Amino acid sequence: MFTTGFKFFFGLFAAFCAAALVYGYTTGGNHVGPLSLGWKGGVGDHIGYGVLVGLAGVSLTISLVLVSFRDADAAAQAHLQNLAEVPTDQPVSASFWPVAASFGAGAAAVGSVLHPMVFVLGLAVIVLSTVEWTMDAWADRATGDAAVNRELRNRIMAPIEIPVVGALAVGVIVLAASRILLTVSKLEAVAVAGVVSALILGGAWVYVSRPGLGRRLVRILGTVGALLLLMGGVLAAVAGERDFHHHTDDTHDDTHEESGEPTGTGEHGG
């Protein structure tokens, strides 16, 4: 029987193959070139055709690996190891890194068209999310104890993610805030800075006065504020900076002397 993972990735393989054929023939492919990978005729646009064929190959490989290992099914493992009881599956913890990775992919796609800064930011988010997501997946299955798994993950990742994430967070905040303040007018920049400072002060007061409510509130407001700051920074970077008028000193000395001309008035003798 074919497993669920095999069906999914083999379906992707078939879809990418069909897309490669359609793309090849619509971009100049002739004869059986797209069908024979360019052996008997042209394939049209080489880059697009090659990307689609590569994705098809990756999908086929993953589907074969999944069907070989039976999607890591517990019953299949018990049958292979001749166990009397089926081992229980390890529950996995919820992770927001897939959402962060998708946000980074969207930012990179938008930045490739609009602004290099947004593109680099998207790539950084994708790399960071991939590393964190991989470590979470490993830690969930390291041992049978969730507390031990969390301790193992923190022991490996805490010395790395605390300084790296902190530096990235500070850099993103400074960069996004500077784009926003340089886009709006001078008075609007002062107003924005004042309102944000007041909100931060109010949030800190709530966090100190109501610890139970403050933590939940800080998490919600922190997430919403970070998203708004990123969106504002992206839009401001696209809009560009405001015009800065540099004032120059246009005053000149009126009491200058020109070479070869008399400085006084008088009558010339005949």
pLDDT at position 267 over 70: no
For 218-239, the pLDDT digits (tens) are: 777 778 888 888 788 878 877 7
Q: Which two tokens stand for residue 261?
A: 């001309």
Q: Which two tokens stand for residue 65?
A: 């690996």
Q: Check residue 270 and give its pLDDT.
A: 43
Domain limits of the chain?
Answer: 1-89, 95-242
Q: Is the pTM of this model over 0.95?
A: no
Name the DSSP class of 72: G
Diameter of the chain measured on Cα atoms:
136
Question: Which residues, in sequence order, are CB contacts of 16 under 8 Å at separation 6+?
Answer: 52, 53, 55, 56, 59
Q: Which residue has the higher pLDDT, 108 or 85?
A: 108
Q: Kindly indicate the confidence band of residue 92, based on its pLDDT and cuts at 50, 70 and 90.
A: confident
